Amino acid sequence: MELLSVKQAAALLGVDDSRVRQLLHDGKLQGQRVGGRWLVAGDSVRDRKDRGPRSRRPLSARNAWGVLAVLDGHQPVGLSDAEKSRVRMRVRNLLAHEGLAPAVFQELLAARAEVRSYRVHSGVLMALLAAQDVVRGGVSAAARVGADYVALGRAEIYVHPEKVEKLEAEFGLARDEERGNVSLRIPPAEMWSFLISRPGMAGQGHDAPASVVAADLLDLHEGRADAAAAGLLKPLLARYTQPRKA
């Protein structure tokens, strides 16, 4: 794997060094720390460059979750009938003009939840993923909902806003934006019923719905994750590509 310095990555992307470090901290570029400095995966830099600059404003959290619920065949929570109709129309228009474009979906859904990065001992990860207050998402639920993606040594979870402090204390979660191995997303409280709508296998907690897992994978900005997300989204989007009955 080709590794670039932060300065080299910044030059390729046309940004300053601090922006590259922020993208690494946010998981939007892939890299590793060696001897106290970042080395950036060349493929992830070129992939981000090919995507081009963000051209769309993210949907509000409320409407982003409305899109995710609609894609998964659920009634959007907390939306008026007019808002539900607009969400469904947004999905149809998106497919008509963009097709299944991972970058577009990622941009539109980016504001759905607050994201925090934590560091815990690797031996704690399995217990954390099985915790009662946790819904597994992203890399932690991908294989469980049928996506061809596995990432060992990392956890992605959703936690109800009122349960975050309890979970931090119970598992000794320490905020670490640089070396975190746990990505914790905090959704709007009213969306929790949708998030827990899919029980885990053999009663093992909950896995996020497939549409949510796909959105999480797209946040990785990595070709393999994009492909896995597309595989999850394709059957969910199929209903919107069928001819409408007269």
For residue range 33-42, list pLDDT tens digits in order: 887 788 999 8
Query: For residue 167, what pLDDT band results from cuts at 50, 70 and 90?
Result: very high
Portion of the chain with pLDDT greater than 90, in percent? 38
Cα of 184 vs its chain's centroid, Å: 10
Residue 138: phi and psi, rounded to 5, are 45, -130
Structure-token match 């925090």, residue found: 116
Element (H, E) at 40: strand 37-41
The CA distance from 69 to 74, in Å, is 5
Query: For residue 54, what pLDDT band results from cuts at 50, 70 and 90?
Result: very low
What tens digit of pLDDT does each residue of 175-230 get?
Answer: 998 889 999 999 999 999 999 987 655 556 799 999 999 999 998 888 889 899 98
Q: Where are the beta strands (DSSP E) in 48-199?
A: 114-119, 134-136, 155-159, 174-175, 182-186
